[in-house]
A and B are shown apart, each in its own frame.
Chain A
Amino acid sequence: MFEPKVKIDRGLYATLQRAAKIADYSSVDEFIIHILEKAAAEIEQAQSEQEIRKRLQGLGYLE
Chain B
Amino acid sequence: MITVVSGLPRSGTSLLMQMLHAGGHPILCDDQRLPDPDNPRGYFELEKVRSLERDATWMADAEGKAIKVVSFLLGRLPPGHEYRVIFMQRDLGEVLASQARMLERRGQPAGLEPALMRAHFERHLESVTKWMSGEPQIRVYSCEYAAVLRDPEATALAIAEFLETPLDIKQMVSAVDPTLYRQRV
Mutual binders A and B: yes
Binding site for B on A (CB under 8 A): 44-45, 47-49, 51-56, 58-63
Query: Complex Cα distance A34/B10, Å?
Result: 36
> Which secondary structure characterizes the binding site on chain B?
helix
- Majority SS of interface residues in chain A? helix
User: Does the CB pair A59–B72 fall under 8 Å?
Assistant: no
Q: A45-B123, A61-B9 are in contact. List 7 more A-B contacts (CB 8 A).
A: A48-B119, A49-B72, A53-B72, A55-B111, A55-B117, A58-B103, A59-B106
Are B108 and A59 neighbours in the complex by a CB distance under 8 Å?
yes
B121 touches A52 (CB 8 A): yes
Structural contact, B103 and A59, CB atoms closer than 8 A? yes
- Between A and B, 9 residue pairs with Cβ closer than 8 Å are A47-B120, A48-B120, A52-B72, A52-B121, A55-B117, A58-B103, A58-B108, A59-B103, A62-B70
Q: Give the docked Cα–Cα distance between A56 and B129 (Å).
A: 19
Is B51 on the interface with A (CB-CB < 8 A)? yes
Whether the Cβ atoms of A61 and B123 lie closer than 8 Å is no
Give the CA-CA distance A48 to B121 in the complex, in Å.
7
B residues within 8 Å of A by Cβ? 9-10, 33, 50-51, 53, 70, 72-73, 99, 102-103, 106, 108-109, 111-112, 116-117, 119-121, 123-124, 127
CA distance A62 to B72 in the complex (A): 9
Distance (whole angstroms) from the CB of B149 to the closest CB of chain A: 22
Residue in A53, A60, A61 with the greatest tally of chain B CB atoms within 10 Å: A61
Task: Find chain B residues with CB under 8 A from A54 CB.
Answer: 111
The answer to whether A59 touches B120 (Cβ under 8 A) is no
In the complex, the answer to whether B106 meets A58 with C-beta atoms within 8 Å is yes
Whether B109 and A58, one on each chain, are in contact in the complex, defined by CB atoms closer than 8 angstroms, is yes
Specify the chain B residue showing the minimal Cβ separation from A55: B111
Please report the C-alpha to C-alpha distance between residue A23 and residue B18 in the assembled complex, in whole angstroms: 52
Contact A55 B124 (CB under 8 A): no
Which chain A residues border B123 with CB–CB below 8 Å?
Answer: 44-45, 48
The minimal Cβ–Cβ distance linking A20 to chain B, given in whole angstroms, is 27
Residues of A within 8 A of B112 (CB): 51, 55
